Structure 1
Amino acid sequence: MQLGTFSVSLAAKDIKASVAFYEMPGFTHHVGDLSQNRHVMKDGDAVIGLFQGMFEKNSLTFNPGWNQDAQAAPPFTDVCELQQQLKETGVEFLAEADPDTTGPASFVVVGPDGTR
């Protein structure tokens, strides 16, 4: 199972304050649009996404098809295939990708400690 590049997605109350905070130890802009309340930052291979108003809790994020530089990384396992593999192991989903569509999709699972 190839989950793709990993990052931590943080629910920010004030995205500008969060960006300023994470710039202090050395994180810099990577991708995203601050005016749309989404900003992904990097420090070496460490990646954090800051999102204001998009979700309530922090989450772990995996991006199939991307490398750490947000560039295409073929081959990769399609998110719907990953979802099916996880379903077969008994994982429960909070939200599911629609397998009848094409293009970007996502699903949400919750770990035993409540991490999304």
Structure 2
Amino acid sequence: MKLGAFSVSLSVRDINKSKSFYENLGFQVLGGDITQNWLIMKNESTVIGLFQGMFEKNILTFNPGWDQSATNLESFTDIREIQKQLKTKEIDLLTEADEASEGPASFTIEDPDGNLILFDQHR
């Protein structure tokens, strides 16, 4: 099972302060739109997302089909296949991708400690 790029999506109170803080740690903006209260930042192979007012808790995020630079991978495990495999392992899904669909989709699970994990395929 290839999960794709990994990042941590952080729920922040003030996106401008958070942006400045992470820039001081050597992160640079990779994508997003600060006027919409979200940014993706990168330092070497480490990727974080800053999201103001979009969700309550921090989220671990996997992007099937992408590498750590958000470049499309030639070969990857489709999100619907990952979802099916997790279901066979009796992992409860909080939200589900439509298994009859193709292309972009997402689903979420929660680990035993209540940490949210988002699987988010963009292609």
TM-score for both structures, normalised by structure 2: 0.89
**Structure 1: 5+ residue stretches without partners:** none
1:81 matched to 2:81? The reply is: yes
Q: Report the equivalent of 1:93.
A: 93
Quick one: distance in 2 between partners of 1:103 and 1:10? 26
Q: Which amino acid aligns with 1:41?
A: M
How far off is 1:55 after superposition? 1.3
Structure 2: where are the runs of 5+ without partners?
Answer: 117-123
CA distance in 2, matches of 1:59, 1:41: 15
Identify the structure with the greater strand proportion: 2
Please give the per-residue CA displacement for 1:38-97, whole angstroms capped at 9, x wherever unaligned. 101011111101111221110110000001111101201111110010000000111111
Residues 18-52 of structure 1 deviation map (CA, whole Å, 9 limit, x = unaligned): 11111111111011111121101011111101111
Identity %: 54
> Which runs of at least 4 in structure 1 moved beyond 2 Å after TM superposition?
100-103
Residue 101 of structure 1, CA deviation: 2.4
Query: What is the aligned residue count?
Result: 116
Q: Secondary structure at the match of 2:22?
A: helix
Distance 1:75 1:33 in 2: 29
RMSD: 1.0
2:68 — aligned with what? Answer: 68
**What is the Cα deviation at residue 102 of structure 1?**
2.6
